Chains A and B, each alone.
Chain A
Amino acid sequence: MTTAAAAAASGWMPPPCTVPGARAGGVIDGGAPEGPLSAAWQRRRLDYRLVNPANRRRLKVIVVGTGLAGAGAAAALGELGYEVECFTYHDSPRRAHSVAAQGGINAAGDNTVDNDSLERFVRDTVKGGDFRGREADAFRLGEESQRVIDHLNAIGAPFAREYGGTLATRSFGGVQVSRTYYARGQTGQQLQVAGSQALLRQVDAGTVTLRTRHEMLDLVMDDGRVAGVVMRNLVSGKITAHTAHAVVLSTGGYGNIYYFSTLAKNSNASAAWRAVQRGALIASPSFIQFHPTALPVGSKWQSKTILMSESLRNDGRIWVPAKAGDERAAGSIPEEERDYYLERKYPAFGNLTPRDVASRNAVAQIRSGHGVGSLQNGVYLDFRDAIARLGKATISERYGNLFDMYKHATGEDPYAVPMRIAPGAHFTMGGLWSDYDQMTSLPGLFVGGECGWGYHGANRLGANSLLSACVDGWFTLPYSVPNYLAPLLGTAPLAPDSAPVQEALTRTRARVDSLLTIGGTHGPSHFHRILGDLLYEGCGVTRTEPSLTATIAAVRQLREQFWSDLRIVGSAERLNQELERAGRVADYLELAELMCVDALDREESCGAHFRDEHQVDGEAARDDEHWAFASAWQVDDGHFVRHHERLTFESVRLQTRNYT
């Protein structure tokens, strides 16, 4: 990282940061290889240092998380012969939230005649991300994609097959080729189960030590390098330190900060946020994807929102009553009084417009009184025409379990009445900043999967994130982590009684105690719910300067209330789920402020970041002249410093997205 002076010397300066309490920092370099991008990954791999197989056992890597990214990294590094210690707060590696992904996984290919190719994949990814991701990473993503399919197929994922026995594909939101591989509506489950089997195979082989029901609460820092982690055993409450030559965080996304989200109840930002507190940069934290096909919140005690796979948009048609406030049942609204607004506004893509466009249009319909359902907070997704055209059997083979799921969740039969959907917080494009080698700004700390950033820019294309988690885990970190390890051969991980380890343990215990001793009146979920409402309102599908400014103030106030009015019953010496939740909500209350600061700072609209002030004819108005960079935030003693990585594009021309 260089200084502001160096940024000025580079000839280009980003706009000043005018958000109170925040300031502009310096320029950072993603370290992508020079030269043509299509061969960049191969060149970089050739440059990486290697470790002799006989020596690998003497180098230790800690992997936090067993989702597709973590299970892949831990298994692959174990297969290579490194000593791996792997942690998850779940009771089993299989339960990581990758398991819930439904629709599919992309792979770039020219093996059909629909004219797909690596270049087209990159173009779609970069363009879909509204030019706010790192193009070199997108190339690597596409280049490794076929190996991901081959590998996951080989280790047991039963992908859907055509009648000829070859892999079946379908097309997914935002693209016009068919490059999405799938296993019914359970693609994530099948990949995740295959990945955790591979991980358990290494456990059996003795290369990986797996510790389940362990939550990472802090990092061990040794003179600026990351040298280990602090864990809490969730059953015994014991807090222990574990050291290694390198640490990989693959701890998933933080969409659950919105309380109602498509993530699991336990998904959280704590591991990543702790890294930020230890000095790591976090990129574009306000780039959050709202999934257009989540279920609207329907009842008072509902604990989360559920996702209906986007693949449903292949055959379902989205509409609302043309007349605001129309309370008739869907079936009684005649064809000419229905507004298929996506088909009307975006004839080329219709119901398959990218997620941000679909979400924003749905919010606009709901806010203007066209919402459906008893709370008028959804839009219809209708299969009537598809069933008439293809028959119920075909629809059931394609989406059977999704239809069952909908019925379970709502009590309504989607074969008979249209589904009701609404945008829900879903995916975090932002996350820990890392360079091209997936190393964060803290030496020794690597990142994989959704807790990182880079591939997806300001908006992720459907089916690209199972891919990015797999590419990171199986086919990037196993190359780049050894490159970092090689020079460390002959050194030992930090000793348990060393000062940095003791310091990290003391810090962690103090934090746990501080949560336990507040003695207020409300449990952590109370604050989480309020935070979620604040964020949906102020930093949601659309944002404005006043909404963000107000939300920052409200979040600060809520944080104060939390630290004076939290109540945790029970002790830290055994399983205490309220304590776990409290730690996570405490971190959310800090991250939420930075999300709003990031959104307020960025005076443009791009992808999922839609500032009402910056639009042309209702579409996002990107400002490439001033904002073609990724904001990578440093948290410095309570102040936010915005560093920037410039984004340039070689193979894809900077162009305005146009889906009409």
Chain B
Amino acid sequence: MGGPVKVRIDPEICQGQGRCFSIAPGIFDFDDLGNGVVIGDGTLTSDTLELARLAQSNCPEHAIFIEE
């Protein structure tokens, strides 16, 4: 409780399926190899949380984690 909600991508699990940065380009970006990366430190606001959850539920590799 209380701490910021953060999103992260586990680079060991991510295979660059690209769903996250297509669905939520403000939250995720891609690196030179096309793998997903989180923009900034991944802190989510009440405005971006829902979109981050949608991206999470579309990642075929289950590589996206949202933690408090």
B partners with A: no
Measured CB to CB, the residues of B under 8 A from A are none
